[in-house]
Amino acid sequence: MGIGLELMVSGETDYKVIAEDAGVGLSTVYSWMDKPHFVAELEARQGKALSKATLMLRGLTTRAVRRIGKLIDEGGKDDAVRLKAACEVLSRAGLPSTERKDVKLQDDRPADDDEVIGLLDEVMPKGE
């Protein structure tokens, strides 16, 4: 029963696979699921596994936010990386579309990427 329980906790839903791996018949797996104490234990372990996974994701989220901040602040010579990271943050924050728009300068000519990044740096300097 222990191997079957662990397989179910880990997400296996195919009773045939559970039965084979646990070395029992398919009818045995079905009988486990009819036992309230088995189902209660399964649900408790699944809850613990979900809580652990949630905590791990929260830790990764913090690291991801720090990494994006570092890319924005220290994108090195690759300003495109800084711009992409900043646009992704704005997009995920639900702010207006960050789709690429053609930017025209005061002399009515299209701006190239370096000029656009320079304009963005004026309104959003590194570190903000």
pTM of the model: 0.51
- Answer whether residue 101 shows pLDDT above 70: no
Rounded Cα distance between 7 and 5, Å, is 5
Cβ neighbours of residue 100 closer than 8 Å, sequence gap 6 or more: none
- Answer whether residue 119 shows pLDDT above 80: no
- Answer whether residue 60 shows pLDDT above 90: no
Q: Are 55 and 44 in contact (CB under 8 A)?
A: no
